[in-house]
Amino acid sequence: MYTRHMPTASPVHDKPQPTAPRQVTGMRPRVVWLIITALIFSSGFFIGRYIYPAGEIQYNPLDYVRLDDSGHRQLVFHTFWEAWDQLHRNFIGEIEDKDLFYGAVQGMVRAVDDPYTVFEPPPETKQFEETIQGSFSGIGIEIGVREGAVVVISPLAGSPAELAGVQEGDIIVAVDDEPITGNMGLDDVVQKIRGQKGEPVKITVVRKGADEPLPITVTRDTIAIKSVNLSFDNDIAVIEITNFNGDTAKRFNEAAREVIDRHARGVIVDVRNNPGGFLEAAVEIGSRFIEKGQTIVSERDKDGNSKEYAARGNAVLQDIPTAVIINGGSASASEILAGALLDQRNVPVIGTQSFGKGSVQEFLKLSDGSSLRVTVAKWFTPSGRSINEEGISPTLAVEQDRDTDEDEQLQQAEEELQKIIAGQSG
């Protein structure tokens, strides 16, 4: 996600997460409403500044900002308005004031040099909010940044992107033949991939093992995310969590009741290619497995302050042998859940290293319908291990062969559970 959206990473859909929790982009279930102040320039102010089309640049008290408690002030906005006026006087083409204004705010936010700190104007904010509700139009991938490259965290299960052949770990180098350059933000790439249902988009990717870049054309479509899928293999329940969105905790609780009703002897939690979502959902699901009061995840801000999120009770799956499957597409909330189960239950974790998206984005809804997602903290597992950039290491590394229909990671998870069950019986 991210709300604390544990973006989530960024969802690339025609798209969007709601006026809600912080997404772990990871986000907590609360909305922080931010009033646009002089620092963000109210619309009345920037219109007022522009009514001076000639002559000297006019000064305004809002051109100054307090720097510290000693009362020192520094002129900061004069150059901004000077550039604004000169553009209007000299630019040969048409200029939309709204585009200039939102572009200026986006540039300011991008200057912090964090791919997950993003400003979005009202239309994109609305799309983001729709996405976390579980239905949207797009190609169905989540992207992030690794070592300066735009990487596919995962294609959503059954999405147009997955069906077209996009894979976790693909590096996007061009969209519709326009190269991805170093000065583009993650939000720029998202905007290029978004579009209307039924329209194609070509993304060019670099893939490990491929001799040259691969062009993949994907047709955008409406995507309904079913965030929890339950299946049974004899006496083993397999709960696949594809996303941590607004209804995931509710759907997981329904699955947990069925697991108990059917007297499953073991549970496999499959968070492969799950790019994350709401912290609230991860904590709620973790509470089904972990004793009340035990830490699920801790959050540390820039000042070193720590806040712990503990299991809330109703640990109905606590005594059932459990295993987790992860891969490089498991990010954010997925890593929080896997890390908590590993540290607090010592469950086997099967698969490959997770993505390492362990930063917290606060979703801030602005008064004009635009929004900020701001990185405010980093996540740590109960044992104190950093999730950010490091990810979760499997206790049993198993690569998945893409050339076979066999799910080797799932098979290994079942074998590990059967060993635990046999040990309990003996």
d(CA 362, CA 26): 8
**Per the residue annotation, which of 10, 137, 330, 332 is the catalytic one?**
332
| Lowest mean per-residue pLDDT among 210-224, 254-268, 286-300 | 210-224
Residue type for 423, please?
G
pLDDT at 352 over 70: yes
Percent of the chain with pLDDT over 70: 80
Model confidence pLDDT, tens digit, residues 54-108? 344 444 544 555 555 555 555 567 888 999 999 999 999 999 999 999 999 999 9
Residue 142 is predicted with a pLDDT of 84
- For the chain, the structural domain boundaries read 31-115, 136-224, 228-360+378-425
Residue 303 is predicted with a pLDDT of 94
Q: What are phi and psi of 74, to 5 degrees?
A: -140, 140
> What topology does CATH give the domain 136-224?
Pdz3 Domain (2.30.42)
**Per the residue annotation, which of 167, 359, 361, 409 is the catalytic one?**
361
- For 276: left if phi > 0, alpha if psi spans -120 to 50, otherwise beta; the answer is left
Residues 6+ apart with CB under 8 A from 64: 73, 74, 75, 76, 77
Question: Helices 78-90 and 43-50 meet at what angle, rounded to 10?
Answer: 60
Which residue do the tokens 């042998």 mark? Answer: 321
Average pLDDT along the chain: 83
> What topology does CATH give the domain 228-360+378-425?
2-enoyl-CoA Hydratase; Chain A, domain 1 (3.90.226)
409 is catalytic: no
| C-alpha closest to that of 281 among 348, 332, 330 | 332
250 is catalytic: no
Burial (Cβ within 10 Å: 0-12, 13-18, ≥19) of residue 182: exposed
Task: Quickly state the pLDDT bin for 423 (edges 50, 70, 90).
Answer: confident
Residue 42 is predicted with a pLDDT of 26
Task: Quickly state the pLDDT bin for 31 (edges 50, 70, 90).
Answer: very low
- For 176: left if phi > 0, alpha if psi spans -120 to 50, otherwise beta; the answer is left
Residue 182 is predicted with a pLDDT of 78
| C-alpha closest to that of 248 among 336, 164, 321 | 336
**Per the residue annotation, which of 126, 192, 357, 365 is the catalytic one?**
357
Model confidence pLDDT, tens digit, residues 357-378? 999 888 899 999 999 999 999 9
Residue 395 is predicted with a pLDDT of 98
pTM of the model: 0.69
Long-range contacts of 280-283 (CB under 8 A, 24+ apart): 280/3, 280/4, 280/21, 280/28, 280/29, 280/249, 281/244, 281/245, 281/248, 281/249, 281/252, 281/333, 282/6, 282/24, 282/26, 282/244, 282/333, 282/334, 282/336, 282/337, 283/309, 283/311, 283/312
Section 399-405 average pLDDT? 79
Task: Quickly state the pLDDT bin for 230 (edges 50, 70, 90).
Answer: very high
Percent of the chain with pLDDT over 90: 60
361 is catalytic: yes
Task: Quickly state the pLDDT bin for 282 (edges 50, 70, 90).
Answer: very high
Q: Please, what is the Cα angle at 246 between 244 and 247, to 5 degrees? A: 90
pLDDT at 255 over 70: yes
